[in-house]
Amino acid sequence: METLVVKIFGNDYSVRADRDGDHVLEVAQIVDSKLREIDRQYSQGSPVRTAVLACMNLVDEYETESRASAEWLSSRVGSLIEKLENVL
C-alpha cells in the first residue's frame, strides 16, 4: 500500500492507495478540477457547500454516463440475440 500526498482545492491530503498511484493522482485531479469549476460557477463562499455541490455534480455525471452505457449495452445485446435467432 502506497501513501501519496494530493492537493485538492488548495489543501494537501495524505491518501493511502491500494491501486496504482497514478490512478489516485488522476482521481484527485478530477476532484480538484470539479471543485474549482463549481466554485467559479456558484461562488458559494463555503468550501463545504462547494464540496457538496461538486460531489452531487460528479455523481450525476457518473449516473448519466452509466445509464447511457447500460442502454447501449442492452441495445447491442438485443441486436446480437436477434441475429443469433435468425441464424438458428
Write out the DSSP string of 2-17: EEEEEEETTEEEEEEE
pTM of the predicted model, to two decimals?
A: 0.74
One-letter amino acid for residue 20 of the chain: D
The proportion of the chain whose per-residue pLDDT surpasses 90, expressed as a percent, equals: 72
b/e map 25-34, b = 16+ CB within 10 Å: eeebeebbeb
Q: Is the pLDDT of residue 85 over 90?
A: no
pLDDT at 12: 97
Domain that includes residue 49, residue range: 2-87
Q: Is the pLDDT of residue 44 over 80?
A: no
In tens, the pLDDT along 1-34 reads 889 999 999 999 999 988 788 899 999 999 999 9
User: Dihedrals φ, ψ of 64, to 5°?
Assistant: -65, -45
pLDDT at 6: 95
In tens, the pLDDT along 54-76 reads 999 999 999 999 999 999 999 99
Total domains in the fold of the chain: 1
Write out the DSSP string of 10-55: TEEEEEEESS-HHHHHHHHHHHHHHHHHHHHHH--S-HHHHHHHHH
pLDDT at 2: 87
Total residue length of the chain: 88
DSSP-assigned beta bridge partners for residue 10: none
